[in-house]
Structures are given as C-alpha cells and as structure tokens.
Amino acid sequence: MLAGVVAVAVVVVALMGSPAPASVADFGEALELAPAAAVTAFEPDAATHILVDVAGAVVRPGLHRLGASARVGDAIEAAGGFAPRADLDAASQSLNLAKPLEDGAKVLVPELGVERVPQPAAAGDGRIDLNQAGQSELETLPGIGPVTAGKIIAARNERRFDSVRDLRTRGLVGESVFADIKSRVSAG
C-alpha cells in the first residue's frame, strides 16, 4: 500500500514540475531554420503536409508545417497570429486569408512603418505585376486612382490574374486606360 502511495506522489511531483502543456499550434509546428540537410528531415509528405515560410509581423516567423489544404489564414495562425507591429490595413489589402497555399509558399505580413518594396514582374523589365503590386504602385499607372487600384487588389485576392487582358474581361478598367497601361503591367 505504501509503495502505491509513493508511486502516486512521484507522478504528482513530476507533473507539477512540468511546464504547462503547449497548444497544438505551439507543439512542433514551427521549425527552426537549419542547414538544408537538417530541413530535409522535416520535409513534408506532399499528400498530407506542406512547409510554408511565414515572415514579417507575426509572433513566430519562420518555417511552419501545415496540412496540405492550409490557407494563408492558417499559416498566420500557426505563426502565432498577427504581432502588435502588424499593419492590419496593409495586410487586408495585400493578403487573402482564404487563399490556398502550396508547399514552399511564403506569406509576408506587412509591418507598420515599413514600406513594401514592389517587385517587378521580371528582373529589370520595369513592368508592374498585377498579382503583387501594392496600392501605391498601382496608382502610378496612368488612369489608375485609389478606387481602381483597390478594385484591382480585391479582384486578384478573389482570383489571381492569368493575363493582363483580365483587367478588361473582368471589367476593372476601360478600353482607353487599358491601352495606356497594357505594356506597363504583367500578370506574373
């Protein structure tokens, strides 16, 4: 009988000295950046998991292993959610939380006070990528003001642009504006 009481006491003491259990999101989801050989050990099974790089204004930036059907919102949640320094207005313009992710995707959450540097469609060609450009970059195009730039961003959040011509087929710009900008944009 005394041996049983001692065994229970040992288990209770061991449990009391343990840290509080981690949530599922905290437990083994974030992967530290490591040499390529070490990361390969964590390579996700394409049928069930993907590996996503979450950067910017999140609590735990880095590589996160998610289910194969994960979306941008799931990646942000796995990274601990938006950090206090997150620019939520810019995030609502540039991120579609419902967008499905692929293995190797990068999710960048904008930070307050940090200007996003626009990436041209291809190195050195100078065209603006309709699928990546920010509000201010789109507004540099002739005939594109704040309202139209917002419509372009909203449209690409619903469905990525497959071609520049999508600006017309989706009714986002008129023919004359399209003629002025078609050589200045791409759908990368």
- Does 128 have pLDDT greater than 50? yes
How much is the average pLDDT of 157-163?
90
User: 16-20, 57-61, 129-133, 182-186: lowest mean pLDDT where?
Assistant: 16-20
Mean pLDDT of 128-147: 90
**pLDDT tens-digit profile of 46-66?**
578 999 999 999 999 999 999
Give CB contacts under 8 A, 24+ apart, made by 128-133.
Answer: 128/184, 128/185, 128/186, 129/185, 129/186, 129/187, 129/188, 130/156, 130/161, 130/164, 130/166, 130/167, 130/185, 130/186, 130/187, 130/188, 131/156, 131/160, 131/161, 131/187, 131/188, 132/188
Instruction: Let me know if domain 128-186 sits in CATH 1.10.150.
Output: yes
Q: Say what the pLDDT of residue 173 is.
A: 94
So what's the pLDDT on residue 43?
52
pLDDT tens digits for range 51-106: 999 999 999 999 999 999 999 999 999 999 999 999 998 888 888 898 888 888 88
- Residue extents of the structural domains in the chain: 30-109, 128-186
Residue 137, pLDDT > 60, answer: yes
